[in-house]
Chain A
C-alpha cells in the first residue's frame, strides 16, 4: 500500500503544480460569476436555469480534468522515460496502475471540492439557502462516477498510442453514456433481432452514469434527499465497474514491454 500511496502522491503533486487545473477553474469561476450576475427580466425562476448551466459547466470541467490528467499518466512516463527508473525499483506494475488510479481519483476529488465549494457559495448567496446534504450527495456520486472515468481512461491509455486519441474516445464514450445510455433499452425494443439483443447487451454491459448526472437536480430544483441506501448501492455499482477496468488495465500492462 505504501508504494501505491507514494505513486498517488506524485500524481497529485503533478496536478497542482501544472497550470491546467487553474486555467479551467478560473475559466469556470469567471463564467459562473458572469451568469450569476445576470438578472433576466427580474424572473426569479431564471436562477434555476443558471444553476443548471453552472453545474453542467462544472461537470464538463471535471470530466476534462479527469480524462486529460489520467490519459497522459502512463504515456508521459513512457515518453519521458521516467518509467524505466521507476520500474527498476521494487514496484510492481499492478502497484503502479493502482497508484496512478488513486492519485488521479483523489486529485479529481480535490477538484470537485473546489468546484462545489465555489458553486455552493455562489448559489447560496443568491438563494439564501444552504442545502449542504444535497451538495454532499451530488458531489459524492459525482466523485465515484469520476472513478469509473479515471479507470476507463487508464485502460485506454494502455491500449491507444496517443493520449489525445484516448482522451477524445473516452470523452465521447462518457458523454454518450451520460446522455443516451438510459435510452438504449427503448432503442433496442424498436429493433428486430439480432440488433435488439446486441443493443440490449450494450445496455446491460456499459456502466450507467446517469444517476450521478441526474443528482444535479437535487441542487437545481431543491429536491429532497434521496435514500442513503440507494446512494450506497449506486456507489457500489460504479465501483464495481471501476474495479473491472482496473483489473483489465493491470492485465494489459503486465504484458507490455516498457523499453
Chain B
C-alpha cells in the first residue's frame, strides 16, 4: 500500500490570458498537499479559491502548468490512475435517456467489471441509494435528489479506494445531506479515503479527520480539524479568520 493516496507537490495551474496583453490567470499557486489512506479530508475555500481546479487536475481534466500530482503513486495524467477512484461532481448531470441501471452498467463496463459482478454491485448500490424502485425508469424522470443519488451510486460502482466529492451536498435537502454523510461515514469505517470540498463547514467539522484551507490559489492552512479550529469557537470562525475576513476577529 502506498504511503499517500493523493500527493500534490508545488502544483501550479495557470489559465491562458483571454485577451491581448492580459496576463495568465494563476488558479493554483505552488500547492503542496498529502492525503493519507483512510482519511476523510476536507478541502475548503471560498468561491474561486482553486478547489475545483485542483480537483480537475487530480482527475486529469486540466493539465498542471508545473508541479506534480499523483494518485496512489501514479501520475494523474495516466488514465490508470483513475482505476481506483470514484468521483461525484458538484452538479450531477447524467445521460437522461438511460435508466439508472443502464448508466451504472455503462460505467461498470468502463471499469472492466465482469457482467455478473457488475449486476451484483448495481443491486447493492441501488439499494444503498434507495433507487431500487426506479431502476428501470429513465433518469430524465428523476427528481434532483434522485439524480444526486444516482451520482453517488456511479461514484461507488468500482468500489473505489478513494472517493473525490466536489460539494456533494450542494442543492440537497436535509434528508439527502444526511444520506451523503452516512455514506461518507460508512466508507470511512471501511478504511476508504474520502477527499471532498464543501461550503458546509458544520458538516466538514462532523465528518473530516483533516482539512486544508485554500484561498486565492494558495494553501493557507492544513491540519486536524481541532488544530485548525484552535482558539476559535468553530471551524467557520477559524475559516473566516484564515482567509482574512474582517468580522472573524470576534470569537
Contacts and interface: CB of A to CB of B under 8 A. Distances in A.
Nearest to B15: A257
B61 A80 contact: no
B60 A2 contact: no
Nearest to B60: A87
Contacts of A13: 97-98, 102
A43 B87 CA distance: 67
A106 B227 CA distance: 58
Interface residues of A, number: 24
B245 interface: no
Main secondary structure of the interface of B (DSSP, over half): mixed
B97 A90 contact: no
A14 B110 contact: no
A10 B151 contact: no
Interface string A76-94: 0000111011111111100
A128 interface: no
Interface stretch (B41-49, B78-86, B213-221): B78-86
A10 B98 contact: yes
A204 to B, nearest CB: 36
B142 interface: no
B154 A90 contact: no
B109 A18 contact: no
Given A2-B112, A81-B93, A88 B52 contact: no
Given A6-B106, A89-B111, A258-B62, 16 more contacts: A2-B112, A13-B97, A18-B97, A82-B93, A82-B94, A82-B95, A85-B89, A85-B154, A88-B59, A88-B60, A89-B110, A90-B79, A90-B83, A90-B111, A91-B110, A259-B61
Q: Which 10 A-B pairs have the closest CB atoms?
A: A88-B87, A6-B109, A17-B97, A80-B93, A258-B61, A89-B110, A84-B89, A90-B79, A88-B59, A81-B93
